[in-house]
Each structure stands twice: as structure tokens, then as C-alpha cells.
Amino acid sequence: MAKLSRKNFFKGLALGTISLPFVIRGCGGENLAQQSSSANVITGKNYEWKMVTTWPPNFPVFGEGCTLFAKIVEEMSAGRMKIKVYGGGELVPPLESFDAVRSGAANIGHGAAYYWAGKSPAAQFFAAVPFGMNAQQMNSWISNGGGLALWEELYAEFGLVPMVAGNSGVQMGGWFNKEINALEDLEGLKMRIPGLGGKVLEKAGGAPVLLAGGELYTGLERGIIDATEWVGPYHDYKMGFHQIAKYYYTPGWHETGTTLELFFNKKDFDALDNSLKAIFRAAAAKVNSWILYEFETQNAIYLDKLIREENVDIRNYPKEVLDQLRIYTDEVVAELVESDPFAERVYASYQDFRQKATVWSKVTEKVFYNDIQI
């Protein structure tokens, strides 16, 4: 083959007489165009997947976020990927979603990682830590601060792929039928509270109970539990807790910015072409922001309704109670990381990021809330 001058080479590209495959072969001796991974090829195959959730069917914000995810995926894939969303109990019980996706009975799940503490204690750090990071800090740690790689490594052991898919923001402290004036008032208290917060309550002498969202009203009304936390004013109003509980406490020390998750059957996910994987990630990112923004919007509206229309008695936890709960939190976390090597790795990453983020927030947000915002 005659050697082309630089001028004729670029002229040939412009005129189309020299093709890109020719150029690649000429430069490297191998046609790289033939090396494309099959994952980069859009096959045109259509899919109908199942999503199971830990939330009641059509549940505000949580369930709506799942439906929004399915809608975005279908639109972005031009109908190649359709997802049927099942609320908790419609296909499998709410707290069996993890195993359903792991086994392949469903392709996708949506929930919060602290529900799977029995599978791996380290999972809880990817949902909420009492007195821990807020929503923007959790999003930053997981997405940009090293948390996601650890999360993916953990879930790979169960044949799953996790993605961030929502955040509740700072929650309320819960509904009670008695005042909490001292730590002793928590002794013997049966309270629905999941994750590490439940372990902290246990140290304070309380009895944590794990109930799915759809069971809370009945549980509180019938005395199965003495108190419950859920999320914030919007959901709590819709659930009717103000009709059966007397006091509404703040702040939600146990969940200061709870991350929600999508988890995919890894075998199913890995078999997809890269375009569908990218669509899933883009849709999850959209839902992640939408859920937080919707909570911020609706909680502001419904707190006003609870105060003005329902005359709800909103109480602050006494400082001495919060101070002791913080001490118990440190003890619970220390025990956890000592008992589980992977949890120790995750918490080291979490705490390193948290310490830096706390210093930053003290000179920005804390000053804003204390000195600037009216």
C-alpha cells in the first residue's frame, strides 16, 4: 500500500474516500471497530421486569418515586424496558423484597438498606446513622466520596447492584402518647424504629419493633406499639397518626437524612447492554432528587396543616435525653464495627467524610440557620 501524505490523508477523510476502519487498521494493524463489546450493542430486545418495594401500594412519595422510575426508564428506552411496580404485599411481603430480588423472583427492589441489617450489619450505614449526616452529605459521600464502591462491593456478595434512589431529609422524632421529659420515660417503651436507631433505643431501655409502613396505624391504635416514628408531617398526616397519638416529637435524631435505594438482580443487570444500564442510572438519579424535593415541599405544607388545623402538640426532645442517646449511638456503632470487618471499613469511610463535611457545614449552613435565616 502506498504511503499517504498528511495532506492527502486528511483530504481523503473529508471526501469519504478513506474510512474510519481503514484509519484504525492503518494505525494499529487491527480493526478496533470489530472489538466492540457486545454490551455496547443495542439489540432491540424488549424486557418486562418486576419491581418489588417495601412500601404500601401507591404510597405517597416512596411509591410514587418507584412509578416515576418505571415511567422514565420506559420513555428513555423507547419502550424496550417496561417495569411493573408491586407495592409491599402485592407480590412478596415488604421486608422480603431483598430476598425476592436476590433469588430472581423479581428484577428490582426499592427500600432502605437498614432493613437488611440481618443480612449484613454494614448495610445500615448506607441508609441512616443516628446523629449522622444529612441528605446532601449522604448523597455526596455515596456518589462522590467513596461510599458507592463499598456499597457495590457489599451487595455483590448477595448478587445485587445498589443505586441511590431517594432521601427523606431530616425526619421527625415520632408520635407518642406520653411525654418524654427524661431518659427514664423511654424505659419499656415499645416503639417502631428500625436500624441503628432501634439499637440505641434498646440501650435506653426501650423495645424497638420493626413494622412495615402499612401496619403502623393499626399497631399504634391497638397498643401493639406505644410510639412510632415514620418520616415527616406529610406522610404522618396521611397516615392519621395525629388522630391516635398525642405528642409529636422533634428532631429525628435517629434518621437525619435517610437514603433510599434501588437494588437490581446483578445477573439480570449485567446481561443488559450499556445503553439500558445508563438509562437505569440516569432514572435513579432523577428519582433520587425528586423524592427529596417532594418531601421538602410537602412536609412544609403539611406541618402547617398539623399546627393550624389539627392543633398538634409539637415537642422538642429534652437536651439531656438527646445527649445520652448520642452516647448510646457511639456505643452501638463501636460494637457494630468491632463485630463486622466490612462494617469497620464502611464506617471508616463514612466517618472520614462526615468529619470533613461537619467542619464545612459549621462555617456555612450552621451560621446560615442560626444567624441569617429568619
**How would you classify the pairing of strands 108-111 and 259-265?**
antiparallel
Q: Which 3 state secondary structure label does DSSP give 166?
A: strand
Query: Strand pairing partners for 227?
Result: 176, 191
The domain locations on the chain are 46-168+257-296
Q: What is the pLDDT at residue 255? A: 95
User: Is 8's pLDDT higher than 90?
Assistant: no
Beta strands in 55-159 (DSSP E): 81-86, 108-111
The helix (H) or strand (E) run that includes residue 117 is none
- Summary mean pLDDT of the chain: 90
Rounded mean pLDDT, 116-126: 95
Instruction: Give, as one character, the DSSP assignment of residue 242.
Output: G
At residue 18, the pLDDT reads 47
**Residues 107-131: what's their mean pLDDT?**
96
CATH for 46-168+257-296, options being 3.40.190.170, 2.40.37.20, 1.10.3720.10, 3.30.420.110 = 3.40.190.170
Torsion of CA 135, 325, 55, 342, to 10 degrees: 70
Per-residue pLDDT at 194: 82
- Give the pLDDT mean for 301-328: 96
Question: For the chain, how many helices (H) and strands (E)?
Answer: 14, 11
pLDDT at 215: 85
**Residue 340: CB atoms within 10 Å:** 15
Comparing 218 with 106, which gets the higher pLDDT?
Answer: 106
pLDDT in tens, 16-36: 444 444 333 344 444 444 444
Q: Cα–Cα distance between 278 and 342 in angstroms, integer?
A: 28
Confidence of residue 294 (pLDDT cuts 50, 70, 90): very high
Q: How confident is the model over 214-218, as a mean pLDDT?
A: 85
Check residues 108 and 219 and name the one with the higher pLDDT. Answer: 108
The distance from CA 103 to its chain's CA centroid, rounded to whole angstroms, is: 21
Q: Which three cell numbers stand for residue 128?
A: 441512616
